[in-house]
Amino acid sequence: MSLQLLLINPMMRFQVKRRFKKNPDVMTLRPVMQAMEPQNAKLPADVTAQQITLGGVPVEKLTATAAESSGAFFYIHGGGWVAGSPRTHRPLTHRLATQTGMAVYAVDYRLAPEHVFPAGLDDCVAAYRALLEEVPAHEIVVGGDSAGGNLALALALRLKAEGIPLPAALVCLSPATDLAATGGSRISNAKRDALFVEEMMETVEGRYCPGADPLNPYISPLHGDVANLPPTLFHVGDTEMLLDDSTRMADKMRAAAVSVTIKVWPKVPHVWHLMADLLPEARQAIDEIVVFVQIHRRAASGLEKAS
């Protein structure tokens, strides 16, 4: 464990978890993430941001100076479905653009509670379908963190159900896959988690999908038909309340013969990748994402040529 990680965990407990103990509502994330945005939105000189639309949905396109001419990383930010933006996630997305050589398309989907399920998922489907008009599916990787990891998996399930070409691979960082909360880590890791409290998790359903069945696979991908989904990478921390959301989803996908890579990281906070400016473990995790993406883009391109 790096010295930086040793310091960040207690800092997160003081700055974020303490707020959730006082007000255990997922909406508490909104001011927390708004406060992150000014610092996180800074970009290096070799990355350009364009504000575009895909399928009528606002999208931030990040392109590195030395980017390849083909390929797209379709990224869906987290924030409990109620917070966050492409700008809060630039410490991760600008590195993906630089290190993969792909343009990153970060979707600015509609947030709850103003726009409840399935609004955000519908935006992701619309933007992905429009991206297919510019980039072939075998050159696209879809990724997301936390709620965005949920939307990445739900998007793949929707694409499969609607007969739309699936991407080459999925990248899911600490995804929330089970709003029905049938796993045990939300309780067993409640004290160890550096950010969240159990009571906050209980408010998500009412904000994101009020009145809906939490077993709906587009709400809880863990309960969907995962056969024939693309190769998928999971990253999650061993102290996270959402640990089981990754491990159980990975197990289910493996049982359905999906190619799965999962790494459980010790002692890291939820979506530590966003702390890449400070945290060596975050930069190492991003390096591993890049390797995974490169391997599966090459494999998908080879299969496309062979067919």
Judge contact between 266 and 238, C-beta under 8 A: yes
Coil, strand or helix at 260: strand
Q: Which of 60, 139, 205, 240 is catalytic?
A: 240
Separation of alpha carbons 301 and 303, rounded Å: 5
Say which residue the tokens 């309960």 belong to. 223
Judge contact between 173 and 146, C-beta under 8 A: yes
Separation of alpha carbons 284 and 210, rounded Å: 38
Judge contact between 253 and 232, C-beta under 8 A: yes
Coil, strand or helix at 75: strand
Domain CATH code at residue 142: 3.40.50.1820
Asked if pLDDT for residue 19 goes beyond 70, the answer is: yes
User: Nearest-CA neighbor of 113 among 30, 55, 180, 33?
Assistant: 30
Question: What per-residue confidence (pLDDT) applies to 256?
Answer: 98
Number of domains in the chain: 1
Q: Which of 89, 270, 273, 296 is catalytic?
A: 270
Q: What is the mean pLDDT of the chain?
A: 95
Separation of alpha carbons 198 and 18, rounded Å: 13
Q: Which residue segment(s) compose the domain that 154 sits in?
A: 3-306
Q: Which of 146, 174, 185, 246 is catalytic?
A: 146
Confidence at 253, pLDDT banded by 50, 70, 90? very high
146 is catalytic: yes
Instruction: Calculate mean pLDDT across residues 36-65.
Output: 96
Asked if pLDDT for residue 307 goes beyond 60, the answer is: no
240 is catalytic: yes
301 is catalytic: no
| Cut 0.85: pTM above it | yes
